[in-house]
Structure 1
Amino acid sequence: MHFSNIYKTGKALMASILLLLVVLMPALQITGAQSVGVCYGRNGNNLPAEGEVVDLYKSNGIGRMRIYEPNEATLQALRGSNIELTVTILNNELQALNDAAAATAWVQKNVQPYSADVKFKYIAVGNEVRPGAAEVGFLLPAIQNIHSAIVAANLQGQIKVSTAIDTTLVTNAYPPSDGVYTDPANQFIKPVIDFLVSNGAPLLVNVYPYFSYNDNPGSIDLAYALFTSQGVVVPDGTRYPSLFDALLDAQYAALEKAGAPNVEIVVSESGWPFEGGNQATPENAATFYQNLIKHVTSTTGTPKRPGKAIETYLFAMFDENLKAGNADEKHFGIFTPDKQPKYQLTFG
């Protein structure tokens, strides 16, 4: 081939490669490995349409989303987005899903029609089920039935089935290495953990330094909760740089004592409100979210799990003005309902 033809062919090939990179760039930017997730609650009457919300995730490079119900409009908007998705099944649905046929129908309605182009990652069966709740007896059978339906749909390689708990199931958390499930919690969470071990699934845990700080403000330094202190050396000699790490390692310690040292934890919620409670200010919220993102996307890890990023979902995308509970519950949003950022955050 003449040299000039080789040169032209090389230029054309390079141009094609560059064009392909331009086409793929949005997908390359929206990858779960490079981004924290953000929880998308819809308990408000002033929120943007679902398609606009998905566009907001994409334009900000947010590669993971957690939703609290399998909303059809959200699932349609997620098609082709490359956003990894966690779908929650709320506690009031657990009893019905103790029927295997109902669990199969749930998967056939809410997962299978979208599975080709929506990146389902986890199904959280139940959110913060606690000892004494009516749902305790329904939790494990619902998890097992949803898992069986996922296997029947041949999606077990893509989707892991788990549950989301809060940190109150663990006691003796100081030092974190002494963390252990309370006796009432152990009765129902141990069989769930055994299921996770058998199926290689993580445990989802909602971790809130904000609430832990407010439960004991006389003993916990605010800077420790906001990642801005020099750290704390706990009684076993371990230095903890932040309350977040201490809370997370107490959960790992409890898993170890429950015979599950290899189960990973996904932080399925963590956030700080900007008003409505003690130390709930825009300044503190901005500091918390900025430092949390920096920490969990680094390879610092925690003292018990060093050297790895921590898969984490910020709570939440928007304020939810219809949410029940204390005033601070309505003010965790990192964007306003008109899609403006409250804080300067880089998600990946």
Structure 2
Amino acid sequence: MAVSLLFLGLLMPFLNTPGIQVTADDQLCTAEDGAHSIGVCYGRVANDLPSDDQVVNLFHANGIYKMRIYDPNESTLQALKASDIELMLGVPNENLQALSDPSAAKDWVQRFILPYSSDVKFRYIVVGNEIKYNDLAAQYVLPAMQNMYDVIKAANLQGQIGVSTSIEPSLLGSSYPPSAGSFSTNASPYIVPIVQFLMKTGDPLLANIYPYFGYVSDPADIKLEYALFTSPGPVVSDGQFKYQNLFHALLDALYTALEKAGAPGLKVVVSETGWPSDGGNAATVENARTYYHNVIDHVKSGTPRRPGEAIETYLFAMFDENQKGPAETERHFGLFSPSMQSKYQITFN
């Protein structure tokens, strides 16, 4: 999770009120997504967390059927064997350059995917997290994705395991109103080839969406209710579409940007969203409880631009992580304490 000044700036307009052939069987989006659309991110930047076996049991006990991890931790993969939890597996940003070599991508899949693929329900491989267009790693994202996809396809797993990357809204140059959403001039050479590749493979784009950071950027003008899904009426009107919450507005701006990038109808999975319970402005247990309850409720029915489409969403994060930073809030996004006590008594699915 990262917050950029550009991302906060993009939210300011809200203040005023012969390729790869894909068959139907290859699509990862199914009717079951609506029933089990909520996953949880399992970050491990802490020194006081329970064992991986305990974590998997905690997921089961709370009816959580999807997990995101940020690196191929083999202890976690072992714990997930024979579970019914679908896994979003991250490729760390520092590995992208190496994986732009096809042989390295093949070795990665042979080490971390194939030995577990009969027992672990891999859902997505996430090739990089929140890479910006001007990051050194940006040049390696698409080649690494292509190499990963080729290896997955060679193993005849392309209909089961998607290959994508996780972005943040700072790649948008315009986001207000949502119908004006577009990728920035600088970001387009980076992100447009990626989304066009995803259109060919049928895999979704992943996006980290945090209304919390929009609110704290200017709490005098962005209303807390708009960020928490509790506004009594529409805050933003955009033609026929009305917006009562910032989450939907940001997601619809991204959908519009994808249409303009030649990727109409591309599915977006919200790969992170959350609210801290301590450490900063509006970071309270009550606000976090309200946000998590409401986002779970709202993703069931889609956005104003794409109604009726359940949004596969991953809450950030399973536990408070005491070694994160630098902001204090980074340590307080957990749905559970490291002792596995629930903060919010949430019904996940």
Q: Which runs of 5+ in 1 are unaligned?
A: 1-30
1:255 paired with 2:262, answer: no
Partner of 2:155 in structure 1? 153
- What's the CA shift for 1:324? 2.7
1:268 matched to 2:274: no
What TM-score results when the alignment is normalised by the length of structure 2? 0.88
Letter in 1 for 2:282: Q
| Aligned-residue offset at 1:236 | 3.4
Aligned-partner residue type, residue 41 of structure 2: C
Q: Matches of 1:43 and 1:308 in 2, distance apart?
A: 33
User: Where does the alignment leave 5 or more consecutive residues of structure 2 unmatched?
Assistant: 1-31
SS in 1 for 2:41: strand
- The equivalent residue for 1:329 is 330
User: In proportion to residue count, which structure has more helix?
Assistant: 1
- Give 2:180's aligned residue: 178
Partner of residue 189, structure 1 = 191
Rounded Cα–Cα distance in structure 2 between residues aligned with 1:303 and 1:32: 19
1:232 aligns with 2:197: no
SS of the counterpart of 1:113?
coil
Segments of 4+ moved more than 3 angstroms: none
Kindly provide the amino acid, as one letter, of the partner of residue 238 in structure 1. Answer: F
Matched length? 316
1:37-116 to 2 correspondence within 5 Å?
37-116=39-118
Name the CA distance, whole Å, in 1 between partners of 2:183 and 2:221. 22
Identity %: 55
Q: Retained in 2: the 8 A contact 1:34–1:63?
A: no
Matched ranges for 1:217-228 at <5 A: 217-228=219-230
Question: In structure 2, the residue corresponding to 1:95 is in which secondary structure?
Answer: helix
State the 1:256 CA deviation: 0.5
Question: Which of residues 206, 209, 213 in structure 2 aligns to 1:207?
Answer: 209
Matched, 1:320 2:326: no
> What does residue range 5-16 of structure 1 map to in structure 2 within 5 Å?
none
SS at match of 1:283: helix
Query: What one-letter code is carried by the residue in structure 2 that aligns with 1:94?
Result: L
Relative CO higher for 1 or 2, CA cutoff 8 Å, sep ≥ 6?
Answer: 2
State the Cα RMSD in Å.
1.2
- Give 3-state SS (helix, strand or coil) of 1:124's partner: strand
Q: Provide the TM-score with structure 1 as the length reference.
A: 0.89
One-letter code aligned to 1:314: L
> In 1, distance between residues paired with 2:70 and 2:80?
15
Aligned equivalents of 1:235 and 1:245: distance in 2? 12
Task: Find the structure with the greater CA-based Rg.
Answer: 1
Q: Is contact 1:164-1:205 (8 Å) kept?
A: yes
Secondary structure in 2 matching 1:260? coil
- CA distance in 2: counterparts of 1:186 and 1:231, whole angstroms: 31
Determine helix, strand or coil for the equivalent of 1:120. strand
2:286 is matched with 283
